[in-house]
Amino acid sequence: MDKLAMLETMAAMQAAHNEHVHPEWRTQRYEYYRAVWIECGELLDHFGWKWWKHQQADLNQVKLELVDIWHFGMSDLLRDGALKPNVVDLLTVDPIDDPSGDALRDAIEDLAEATLQSKAFPIGLFARVMQVLPLPFDELFRLYVGKNVLNEFRQDHGYQSGTYLKTWAGREDNEHLIELLDEIDDPATAVKDLYEMLEGRYALAKSAS
């Protein structure tokens, strides 16, 4: 699958998920920008920024938080009709050499600051975070598909009503997702396979609790 096809696939999946949340999502004036800067803070918590205590960066969760930002950013772009083919070029970034922790923290803060000032999604600064982390476009796509399936799973199991259990067997569902993604070996059936694996693990965890 080429990168333009990957972008189109992500756009279609995001639009479908947004419709699952609310059929008229394009006219609801949801503050996607607010979700973006909040997720920036959550990303930093997984990466570590507290000088007064020991922190170990969890790069898998850092990447998933960046994928969460992409969910909201893409929603903003889709609503504004700004998700154009050139987005592929913007997000095809070469990793920088030997990135530092401060470089990532600065890039995230720049993204959060610009998002707050513009109340929109600054895709160029998002691409900068991808470059510094680094998170190549192909990996963004893989993780996006996985997190989109998890988001659909959450909606189907009571996320909006408050009955969904985000922590299973002592771990958050994002952690289970990372493990299960490593078991997926057929891209053609990845969405179906991953959903069924989440279903099975979730049911087992609930029955044991």
Residue 23 reports pLDDT greater than 80: yes
pLDDT at 105: 95
Instruction: Specify the residue for token string 């969760």.
Output: 61
What would the pLDDT profile of 27-64 be if each residue is shown by its tens digit? 999 999 999 999 999 999 999 999 999 999 999 999 99
In the predicted model, what is the mean pLDDT of the chain?
A: 93
User: Residue 41 corresponds to which amino acid?
Assistant: G
DSSP the chain: --HHHHHHHHHHHHHHHHHHH-TTGGGS---HHHHHHHHHHHHHHHH---TTS-----HHHHHHHHHHHHHHHHHHHHHTT---THHHHHH--PPPSS--HHHHHHHHHHHHHHHHHHTS--HHHHHHHHHHTT--HHHHHHHHHHHHHHHHHHHHTTTTTT---SEETTEEHHHHHHHHHTT---GGGHHHHHHHHHHHHHHHHHHH-
CB burial of 41-75 (b: ≥16 within 10 Å; e: otherwise) equals eebbebbbeeeeeeeeebebbbbbbbbbbbbbbbb
pLDDT at 62: 95
Q: What are phi and psi of 159, to 5 degrees?
A: -65, -45
pLDDT at 138: 93
CA 15 – CA 36 distance, rounded (Å):
17
Band (pLDDT 50/70/90 cuts) for residue 188 is: confident
How many domains does the chain contain in total?
Answer: 1
Region of poorest pLDDT, from 62-76, 104-118, 176-190: 176-190
pLDDT at 141: 94
Residue 191 reports pLDDT greater than 70: yes
CA 25 – CA 79 distance, rounded (Å):
8
Residue 99 reports pLDDT greater than 70: no
User: Residue 3 corresponds to which amino acid?
Assistant: K
- Compute the average pLDDT of residues 83-99: 89
Q: What is the pTM of this model?
A: 0.91
Instruction: Specify the residue for token string 């889709």.
Output: 78
CB 209 within 8 A of CB 171: no
Domain range enclosing 59: 3-208
What would the pLDDT profile of 122-159 be if each residue is shown by its tens digit? 999 999 999 999 999 999 999 999 999 999 999 999 99
CA 69 – CA 34 distance, rounded (Å):
10
The CATH number that applies at residue 90 is 1.10.4010.10
